[in-house]
């Protein structure tokens, strides 16, 4: 080979090496640019993104109450999920906690498995004084709150579950429990609610499952960071100055005139009152309530379309009001309720005329029976009021000259039954209704109770052969097709 041929061969070799080197550098630069682009997109996406829940259950779509509570947190809050993975609702709770953390970075969420993290679990048990797993532990400053996860589950009632079957989980109240716990932890002012006593009213310290027991109401209100006390007007000789709300639940004996005068003075001075009066009970409240926009008569509401035994009335549709907005499709049971109607007001002498709003009504097939001792009950046209009949109502009015002050007006809620929220029925709808009414009366609309999320259980039932076919399709056939396609593309490019 002559010199010229050798020189040409060298040029070709070096040219080939250069092209390969340039191609390698080009590929490396492209890969680096792709990595940089991927990092930039993720960096921007982590700080600017749109979060939406497209699931059927909408488990992470939070209520206004939760948004208000979380948005008000201005100091670090520690949330520890002492959570065993076998607990029903564990995944929903973790998703909910992460969503709260996303909304407010001051909330730190830690999940501890008591079956694996033994040392950390023992430390938490000592720090929060808990003995059982499946708890949510909250810490803020020097305060601590422990929330039981059992309260987050709504179980199927005996009325709907099949005979011999264990009750299913049909609802998840995690959002309501967590928001109430955060509110209890971080709020500085605790509203004071007094339950009137001395006239046979419901007993907030009675934990038995009897008609007079109201301890479940007390526990619900205390979970919303509300201080609950009893009030005997004869002993106190007046309404205490720290009173934010008075509840009169099911009085059975007459309230004396001096006590009514104290209540009237309290109501005239921006008062807030909740009254539940049973059928046949007067207690001296009928003329008093008429002064404040509510008319009660001696009757009982009969609703053949919404009853089983004839003594109760089931309600599942409600009026458009802040108290009942979260209760649609939730059933409340009333025992022999009475009509709660509007009182006729003298418009000329009433500058601050009350606004009457019925909260819930019976069906169109119902009526208000005035002959209480007659059996069977029968509708008498002209004597009985035809349905739908209001069973509860809210009254609100502004005091003259108060302008736009949202806390300036007076508020009153009246129920035609006192057993709907007590221990005896253990009625989830009744408890929710009572809790919402109290929060509305306290001008805490943003803290109205949250309805539980529905839990839909989807079960895939397959036999062994179907399971093997599914495994073959997912683990072998589909990956094999992708691999074969990659080999075909590689071979075609090589040619």
- Please state, in angstroms and rounded to a whole number, the distance separating the CA atoms of residues 308 and 465: 48
Domain 58-190 sits in CATH 3.40.30.10: yes
The predicted pLDDT at position 159 comes to: 52
Q: Are strands 294-295 and 341-342 parallel, antiparallel or unpaired?
A: antiparallel
Under 8 Å between Cβ of 153 and 173: yes
Among 421, 417, 418, which Cα is nearest to 435's? 421
Beta bridge partners of 355: 396
Q: Which residues contact 110 (CB under 8 A, 6 or more apart)?
A: 78, 79, 80, 81
Note the pLDDT of residue 251: 96
Question: Would you state the pLDDT for residue 52?
Answer: 63
Rounded Cα distance, 287 and 253, in Å: 15
Residue 69 is classified by DSSP as: H
Q: Which two tokens stand for residue 246?
A: 């008075």
Query: pLDDT value at position 18?
Result: 64
Residue 234: predicted pLDDT: 87
Over the stretch 112-153, which tens digit does the pLDDT of each residue have?
988 888 889 899 888 888 888 888 999 998 888 888 877 777
SS3 341: strand
The reply to whether 58-190 and 192-443 are identical in fold is no
Can you tell me which residue has the tokens 């209520």?
A: 63
* C-alpha span between 79 and 107 (Å, rounded): 7
Local structure of 294: helix, strand or coil: strand
Domain boundaries of the chain, sorted by first residue = 1-49, 58-190, 192-443, 460-495
Q: Which phi and psi angles does 108 have, rounded to 5°?
A: -105, 130
pLDDT tens figures, 15-64: 666 666 666 777 788 888 888 888 888 778 777 656 566 555 555 677 77
Q: Which residues, including other chains, have CB under 8 Å from residue 97's CB and lie 6 or more apart?
A: 79, 81, 109, 111, 178
Q: pTM here?
A: 0.68
Residues 6+ apart with CB under 8 A from 246: 193, 194, 195, 196, 231, 239, 263, 266, 271, 272, 273, 274
Which residues make Cβ contacts (< 8 Å) with residue 469, sequence separation at least 6?
none
Are the C-beta atoms of 297 and 370 separated by less than 8 Å? yes
Q: At what angle do helices 64-71 and 174-186 cross, to 10 degrees?
A: 30
- Cα–Cα dist 28/329, whole Å: 61
Counting as low any pLDDT under 70, the low residues of the chain are 1-23, 48-60, 155-167, 169, 345-352, 398-408, 446-464, 495
Distance CA 101, CA 85 (A): 20
Cβ neighbors of 15 (< 8 A, separation 6 or more) are: none
- Supply the pLDDT for residue 58: 55
Closest to 391 measured CA to CA, from 424, 370, 413: 413
Sheet holding 169-172, edge to edge: 153-155, 169-172, 453-454
User: Tokens 């002993």 appear where?
Assistant: 235
Could you tell me if 452 and 173 are in contact, meaning their C-beta atoms sit under 8 angstroms apart? yes
pLDDT of residue 399: 58
278 within 8 A of 419, measured Cβ to Cβ: yes
Point out which residues pair with 272 in neighbouring strands: 411
Residue 166 is predicted with a pLDDT of 67
12-19: long-range contacts, CB 8 A cutoff, minimum separation 24: none
Task: Pull the structure tokens for residue 452.
Answer: 């539980």
Structure tokens at 317: 């549709």
Peptide bond preceding 36 in cis form (omega within 30 of 0): no
Listed in sequence order, the residues at least 6 apart from 394 whose beta carbon sits closer than 8 Å to its beta carbon are: 321, 323, 356, 357, 359, 411, 412, 413, 437, 440
192-443 CATH pick, 3.40.50.620, 3.30.70.330, 3.40.50.880, 3.40.50.2300: 3.40.50.880
Count other C-beta atoms under 10 Å from residue 166's C-beta. Answer: 8
CA angle 359, 362, 366 (to 5 degrees): 150
The pLDDT value recorded for residue 158 is: 53
Encoded tokens for 483: 């691999």
Distance between CA atoms of 112 and 12, rounded to whole angstroms?
66
Paired sense of beta strands 227-231 and 192-196, if any: parallel
């Amino acid at each position: 080979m002559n010199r010229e041929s050798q020189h040409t061969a060298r040029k070709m070799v070096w040219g080939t090496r250069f092209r390969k080197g340039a191609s390698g550098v080009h590929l490396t630069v492209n890969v680096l640019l792709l990595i940089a682009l991927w990092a930039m997109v993720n960096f921007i996406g982590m700080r600017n993104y749109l979060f939406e829940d497209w699931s059927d259950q909408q488990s992470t779509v939070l209520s206004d109450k939760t948004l208000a509570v979380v948005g008000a947190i201005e100091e670090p809050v520690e949330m520890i999920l002492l959570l065993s993975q076998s607990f029903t609702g564990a995944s929903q709770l973790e998703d909910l906690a992460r969503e709260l953390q996303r909304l407010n970075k001051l909330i730190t969420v830690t999940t501890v498995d008591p079956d694996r993290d033994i040392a950390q679990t023992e430390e938490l048990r000592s720090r929060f004084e808990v003995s059982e797993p499946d708890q949510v532990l909250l810490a803020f400053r020097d305060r601590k709150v422990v929330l039981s996860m059992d309260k987050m589950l709504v179980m199927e009632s005996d009325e709907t579950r099949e005979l011999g079957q264990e009750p299913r989980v049909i609802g998840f109240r995690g959002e309501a429990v967590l928001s109430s716990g955060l509110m209890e932890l971080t709020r500085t002012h605790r509203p004071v609610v007094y339950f009137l006593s001395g006239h046979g009213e419901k007993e907030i310290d009675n934990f038995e499952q009897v008609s007079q027991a109201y301890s479940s109401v007390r526990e619900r209100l205390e979970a919303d960071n509300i201080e609950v006390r009893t009030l005997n007007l004869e002993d106190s000789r007046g309404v205490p100055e720290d009173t934010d709300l008075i509840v009169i639940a099911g009085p059975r004996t007459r309230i004396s005139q001096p006590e009514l005068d104290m209540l009237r003075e309290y109501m005239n001075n921006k008062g807030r009152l909740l009254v539940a009066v049973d059928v046949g009970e007067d207690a001296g409240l009928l003329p008093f309530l008429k002064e404040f926009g509510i008319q009660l008569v001696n009757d009982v509401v009969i609703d053949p379309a919404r009853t089983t035994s004839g003594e109760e009335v089931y309600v599942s549709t409600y009026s458009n009001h802040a108290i009942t907005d979260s209760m649609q499709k939730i059933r409340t049971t009333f025992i022999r309720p009475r009509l709660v109607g509007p009182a006729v007001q003298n418009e000329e002498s009433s500058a601050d005329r009350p606004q009457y709003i019925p909260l819930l009504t019976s069906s169109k097939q119902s009526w208000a029976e005035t002959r209480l001792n007659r059996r069977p009950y029968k509708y008498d046209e002209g004597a009985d009021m035809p349905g739908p009949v209001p069973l509860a109502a809210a009254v609100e009015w502004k005091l003259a000259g108060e302008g736009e002050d949202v806390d300036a007006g007076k508020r009153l809620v009246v129920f035609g039954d006192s057993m709907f929220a007590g221990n005896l029925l253990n009625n989830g709808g009744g408890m929710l209704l009572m809790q919402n009414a109290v929060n509305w009366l306290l001008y805490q609309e943003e803290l109205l109770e949250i309805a539980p999320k529905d839990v839909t259980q989807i079960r895939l039932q397959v036999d062994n052969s179907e399971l093997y076919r599914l495994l073959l399709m997912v683990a072998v056939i589909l990956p094999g097709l992708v691999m074969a396609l990659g080999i075909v593309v590689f071979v075609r490019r090589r040619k």
